[in-house]
Chains A and B, each alone.
Chain A
Amino acid sequence: MPQVRILAKNFMDMVAALPATKLDKLYENPFICEAVLRSLPPLAKKYALQLLFIDSPISAKTMEGWVLADGISKHRVAIDRLLQLRVFLEEIDRKKESTYKLNPKFQGNIQKYLVYGGSLPRQPMPSNVTVRLPTLEDLETYVLEQWEVATAAINQGFLLQLISSSQVEKLTSFSASMMKFFQRGLLSARENEAPKLTENGFQFLLMDTNAQLWYIIREYISTAEDRGVEQMDLISFLLELSFHTTGEAYNLNTLTDIQRSVIKDLANLGLVKLQQGRKESWFIPTKLATNLSVSLSDSSARKQGFVVVETNFRMYSYSTSKLHCEILRLFSRIEYQLPNLIVGAITKESLYSAFENGINSDQIISFLQENAHPRVAERIPAVPENVTDQIRLWENDRNRVEMTLAHVYEDFPSKEVFEATCDFARDMGGLLWEDTDKKRLVVRGEYHQDMKDFLRRQK
């Protein structure tokens, strides 16, 4: 069974992977066109605008001539991207040469947008209605809180016992279906057993927030139809959200029914904050929502690092987060917890338990590097070399022994039979070891049936 691969790619990659018909349908929404345009790499953006008012196809050769020789690789990347997103459509002309033209729907929408400008289906609510809106800082804290709770929920079975009861209560506000899809692939729940984190679950915990968010959103979109939501509607709503202004209030009654059900889930994830006034309710997009299409995996949006690793394998983490503590516990021994510092040590034993859970050394090292405290982040390397080396060496140590299921055969009646058996096993490629003196051999487990048949024939 194919495993769920966690790829920290961005939103647009997902859009690009949609089937052509769905993509074309998306381009009916001018906001999506704009969002796609914004997401393009600079050269691709330039090409798209260059062809905006040209209706006839341009040959690939001509376009190649637009760039200097050393820009050719960038050119290829740009063209590939445009084709993936179906912003460019490729046609083969009579001379059997490729030509490109803009996707007409895309072209039309962007042209209109340029000429008439765009306007959102809803406007921010006047401040006399929404008396006290949260400040941007408040929103930031809200995002972090929501996110911790959400992440914790994903790992519920694992973290619940370690997280204080107040947070557990908070968790229950999640809808059961949300939980289920969160946990899909990250938790394995066998019957009568406490759910256990899967390999992916551990990897998920080690990813940075943006990558985690992306993973969740992707899961959310791909399961949309199970919840009776059209995938296209969801994508276009998410993209539309990214054009809203952070911190402004938007009336909930401007949303469709579907969107209204979606917005509750998004609030759980911290993409929006819901508030209720005396008569009306509104939602306030947070940074997570407005950055969704642009910088999901953009490093600039990353939170400040907090981990200091010393050459003596001590690890000091400036964090108040219980979640951080639990993440660190995955591969280190936590020794002290102070109000704003977690002290731990990376030990062979702690790493071995991490390896056993399917975390590999690269993930641990990149987690430590990406979350390096600003004090040490400029240092090169941010994590001492001897520590990273040792983590890798410990991992290699585990890989020196290869386990092979095998059977041992002994008590051969004669040397001839023994040798014939050895030859037979060797011919199959299953012979692992032989001892001529004691007439014993070891053969790979998968050949056991063949061996049995062979030995029976010898009698």
Chain B
Amino acid sequence: MAGHGERGRPSKKHKTSDHHRNNPVVVPDTDIQSDDDDNARGDSAAKKWDFTKLELKADHANRPLWACADGRIFLETFSPLYKQAYDFLIAIAEPVCRPESMHEYNLTPHSLYAAVSVGLETETIVAVLNKLSKTKLPKEMVDFIHASTANYGKVKLVLKKNRYFVESPFPEVLRTLLRDEIISQSRIVPPEGSQGGDAFTISKTMGEIEGRHDELLNEADLAAVVEEKETHSFEIDPSKVENVKQRCLPNALNFPMLEEYDFRNDTVNPDLNVELKPQAQPRPYQEKSLSKMFGNVAGRARSGIIVLPCGAGKSLVGVSAACRIRKSCLCLATNAVSVDQWAFQFKLWSTIRDDQICRFTSDNKERFRGNASVVVTTYNMVAFGGKRSEESEKIIEEIRNREWGLLLMDEVHVVPAHMFRKVISITKSHCKLGLTATLVREDERITDLNFLIGPKLYEANWLDLVKGGFIANVQCAEVWCPMTKEFFAEYLKKENSKKKQALYVMNPNKFRACEFLIKFHEQQRGDKIIVFADNLFALTAYALKLNKPMIYGSTSHQERTRILHQFKHSPNVNTVFLSKVGDNSIDIPEANVIIQISSHAGSRRQEAQRLGRILRAKGKLQDRMAGGKEEYNAFFYSLVSTDTQEMYYSTKRQQFLIDQGYSFKVITSLPPSDSGPELNYHSQEEQLGLLNQVLTAGDEAVGLEQLEVDVDDIALLKARRSVGSMSAMSGANGMVYMEYKYDPSLSPNLPTTPIHTFTPFKPNIL
């Protein structure tokens, strides 16, 4: 009977363990894994992949990896060549999971595209892989690499003096491209085409070729050396750049375009005179990601995405990139608070003067000064399609007209593709740098990012950063709270289907576990605690009962500032309750404990983002290592009611972190059995009272519609359209989506009252 309510909790399965079913030569959409796979995998996965016939090399013990014909690569982390092999693999393959001893990677067409775009050549990839491999490389893999990369890196997209050119050292490739209708239509034929339409402009540029591969092993240096090449080019219509790029992708013409910016030789755009301050010392992994972006050729920058965990210092990477390019930089953030934080980071790390930087948000419209500057704004401000205020219009016009040296994009994983397209079509930039912590999306949009921004340039290994002391060492725990009999009985009733979430979140045992943990961490360890609840009914009930401050969508700006200030500075306020608004971007470096009492279904990203709130390393490494072995200095608790849907979601949510090498310890005995009335809801009467409270509250108040398994924040709009009350109850208002709600076409059901975010938002300004 007891197991009745459980909805087939999936086992902790491996994210992409069935990639191997893809025939590598067929282009699989391997870089994202939709969650449905979990179900599809089941029994058929028992199929065995037998590569025992591969020939082991005599000195295999000294080599760090195995490569399988299906593209899967296994890397021993204890090999003396690990560091070199890791740098190489991260450049050519997609990491699947990276726990302590053995990493797994997948070779995909996209990952190879990324490899080529950072300057690796086909033969180098094969040769190095062969060197590192314990076995002879399977022929299938070699063929796959050849097939995937034959065309890569042959075509470049270059922005010169506000005009776009398609460049290639191979004129025949350009001819192939021009045979495509869309591309030929996009071409701007030079007016005095003396030699007819087929003639390309010929110029000499500094090209780069990869260093010899034997060096690669010795120095682990993916450096490129300079070589002079003759290039041919033709111009295309700026408004059709995206179409051309898309036609060039692997699933179409298969000549993916590289984007590079030769900023040192850019004499047209004025320089921005900024430098990093001396105290801004990029850490090794920040340095590495920058070196991937800039290669070894001074004065050239590549577009792409850099993936670093939260708290690992993404902003320093962004600021450093801007300081290297030293041209105008447009920095896009997800919301107004982030805009302030970015502006602050620029001033913190670089010598930028106040008159060189300006913020552009709905209520902070600083005008540009000078002809080169840093502009920080939100995606929504740029992409907004409706009528703008006169002032905004002017600024947007300036953004539109300027040729940006660097387009710096924060949190690229949350921004939907159509918004990117819009932003990119409005702003002309030479180089785009996307930053994110978690390149997971439950939808398929990562592929879009690949051509909208560029390939992934670098992805840090979380565990390595923990070991290096750059991010906090977090103990993750899943606390199992059994449902009380009465709550479970109600949970199982059909008529309560809309209250299921409220019932498992309000489970008295969960409340007591939460209360216990708060007391423990406040009193025994003097920690600062954030409690997350997506369900607003629960958030309010918990916070009121425990008498703690809370912040959710409609908390006023002043109130938030006051609460956060107290949380940071007052010894009496050590716990704060946050709704979804706290998932991203609220910077609370003091917090080191997270208790999650309700969450957004199976979103792996939300879990990672929330963990990110406490990843910022506290104190100095030496201090933390005082006891010889580093102790856990941050705690992440996820409270789940057993036998409910939550168990099922919880497993899904943890997948990303588990793949990064985190482990969740299951705790089954909280609060301890000897705890009594000192915690709330001890007596059955109290519990029944609570139950009654949940049951009598209208479905409106507690009944969060069940959302599709993970919807990205912005995609949440869809759900909100169908369920009017949800936005109000989920605390999801504000942040990213707030700037949407003024688009009348989007959501007729939205509440008409203005919804406050961090900064008071005045609807009439846009």
Contact = CB atoms under 8 A, between A and B. Distances in A.
B10 A386 contact: no
Given A312-B661, A393-B668, A400 B99 contact: no
A334 B46 CA distance: 7
Contacts of B102: 308, 310, 314, 316
B51 A347 contact: no
Nearest to A376: B101
B26 interface: no
Contacts of A343: 74
Nearest to B477: A386
Interface string A307-344: 01011111010001000000000000111111111010
Interface in B647-670: 658-659, 661-666, 668
Interface in B664-689: 664-666, 668
Most interface-central of B11, B13, B97, B658 (chain A CB within 10 A): B11
A383 to B, nearest CB: 11
A337 B666 contact: no
A385 interface: yes
A333 B101 contact: no
Contacts of A338: 51-52, 54, 66, 68, 74, 135
A337 B14 contact: no
Contact of B48 (A311, A335, A386, A394): A335
Nearest to A320: B52
A384 interface: yes
Contacts of A401: 1-3
B11 A400 contact: no
A335 B101 contact: no
Nearest to B49: A336
Interface string B309-321: 0000000000000
Contacts of B53: 339
B170 interface: no
Interface residues of B, number: 47
Most interface-central of A338, A376, A397 (chain B CB within 10 A): A338
Interface in B386-401: none
A389 B611 CA distance: 22
B666 A312 contact: no
Interface residues of A, number: 36
B78 A312 contact: no
B477 to A, nearest CB: 9
B74 A341 contact: yes
A337 B99 contact: no
A254 interface: no
A102 B408 CA distance: 90
A311 B74 contact: no
Given A312-B12, A314-B14, A335 B49 contact: yes
A397 B45 CA distance: 24
A390 interface: yes
A339 B54 contact: yes
A76 B50 CA distance: 56
A401 B658 CA distance: 30
A339 B55 contact: yes
A316 B56 CA distance: 17
A320 B50 CA distance: 12
Nearest to A392: B666
Contact of B68 (A316, A336, A393): A336
Contacts of A393: 666, 668
A262 B662 CA distance: 55
Interface in B67-87: 68, 72, 74, 78
Interface string B112-148: 0000000000000000000000110000000000000
B17 interface: yes
Nearest to A401: B3
Contacts of B14: 312-314, 345
A184 interface: no
Most interface-central of A336, A345, A347, A390 (chain B CB within 10 A): A336
B283 interface: no
A386 B60 contact: no
Given A311-B99, A311-B661, A393-B668, A341 B66 contact: yes
Contacts of B17: 335, 345
Contacts of A423: none
A336 B72 contact: yes
A266 B276 CA distance: 77
B743 interface: no
B51 A349 contact: no
20 contacts: A310-B99, A311-B99, A311-B663, A313-B11, A314-B102, A335-B45, A335-B49, A336-B49, A336-B72, A338-B54, A338-B135, A339-B53, A339-B54, A347-B12, A347-B13, A348-B11, A390-B666, A394-B11, A401-B2, A401-B3
Nearest first, the 7 A-B pairs at minimum CB distance are A348-B11, A311-B663, A310-B99, A386-B663, A347-B11, A312-B658, A339-B56
Given A311-B662, A384-B663, 4 more contacts: A310-B99, A312-B97, A316-B102, A338-B135
